[in-house]
Amino acid sequence: MSQFKPRVFSGMQPTGNLHLGNYLGAMLNWVRMQASHETIYCVVDMHAITQAMSVWGGPKELNTATRNVAAAYMAAGINPKRSILFNQSQVAEHGELTWIFNCVARLGWLNRMTQFKEKAGKDRENASVGLYDYPVLMAADILAYHATHVPVGEDQKQHLELCRDIAIKFNNDFGVDFFPITEPVIMGPATRVMSLRDGTKKMSKSDPSDLSRINLTDSADDIAKKIRKAKTDADGLPSDREGLEGRPEADNLVGIYAALAGMEADAVLKQFGGGQFSSFKNALADLSVAKLAPIAVEMNRLLADPGYVEGVLNDGANRARAIAAPIVKEARKIVGFVVG
């Protein structure tokens, strides 16, 4: 039996709007896990500033986006009484533990991170040191709480493997069983939501085409329009999974329907297979509007009272700190730092 009690931690970056990929790949599981676990959800503002300022927009935009993302969490179903909801930079232990982990993680491990390569692009020399160190901060986020489960989309798998490697090496180097070996929770029919314009590309905030993604702040009309305009091929919908092979756009839309409806992809194909693609798209547009439009409405309601959102983040930060502080203090002792 593990000495660690089950505890969930996850986070999202406040760079621009959240989109359907964030919602289906991660947030639906966050909401579900509230019923069975102790849950901690973070707005990772320190991760946001690892990219060029033109990406995160500067101080004013970061501040607004942090509040917006916190409101989006709540609008999507995160209950701030049940879960701890806070922004990363308010809890200094994240940065503190990152430094210790910087001295545990190896350059070779970070050199393998595909997301760094993608984000840095060709101009690697000009990427920030923070972008390179991003996965180490992520490991500190998780391990400062001794979190055992981390619900994320598929694109975070490699970062979570690094988190496990850091925990294992720390425990081995210091001869302790102090950090848990965290389990990724990559679950459901839409762990990798693709662009609505190109089924081979991940849906992402950075895609220049707004038609490629559904933002959680989109109006009902925009949501329906984007689904109807989503790229598809000329064939109808098949009645089984094999029929989706080599058809990334169709596969993606079926996955989105399944995740929104709480069904398996097979059941969706049973229901719609053999029919025209356009009637499936109409059903998907209706379902998307029914599930997503209320989130934007609730977000706006919450944001109308900025004091409330700020209060939630401050209260969450106090509760988060109460958990992280003794764990990080113990880590400092283990390292041999003189701890007052």
Interacting span for ligand TYM (CB under 6 A) from 18-26, 78-86, 98-106, 261-269: 18-26
Minimum CB–partner distance for residue 150 and ligand TYM (Å): 5
Interacting span for ligand TYM (CB under 6 A) from 6-14, 232-240, 260-268, 319-327: 6-14
Maximum C-alpha span of the chain? 70
Tell me the one-letter amino acid at 204.
Answer: S
In this structure, what are the phi and psi dihedrals at residue 169, rounded to the nearest 5 degrees? -70, -40
Tell whether residue 71 is a contact of ligand TYM (CB under 6 A): no
Burial class (CB in 10 A: 0-12, 13-18, 19+), 107: exposed
Minimum CB–partner distance for residue 234 and ligand TYM (Å): 25
Tell whether residue 21 is a contact of ligand TYM (CB under 6 A): yes
CB-based contacts of 159, cutoff 8 Å, min separation 6: 113, 115, 134, 135, 138, 139
Contact 59, 298 (CB under 8 A): no
Which of 22, 89, 90, 288: binder of ligand TYM (CB under 6 A)? Answer: 22
Active site includes 202?
A: yes
Rounded Cα distance between 166 and 103, Å, is 10
Residues 153-192, mask of contacts with ligand TYM (x by CB under 6 A): x-xx--x-------------------------------xx
Residue for token digits 């379902």? 287
Active site includes 201?
A: no
Active site includes 270?
A: no
Tell whether residue 202 is a contact of ligand TYM (CB under 6 A): yes
In degrees to the nearest 10, what's the CA dihedral of 167, 101, 163, 327?
60
Binding site for ligand TYM (CB under 6 A): 9-13, 21-22, 25-26, 44, 47, 138, 141-142, 150, 152-153, 155-156, 159, 191-193, 202-203
- Residues involved in catalysis: 119, 202, 205
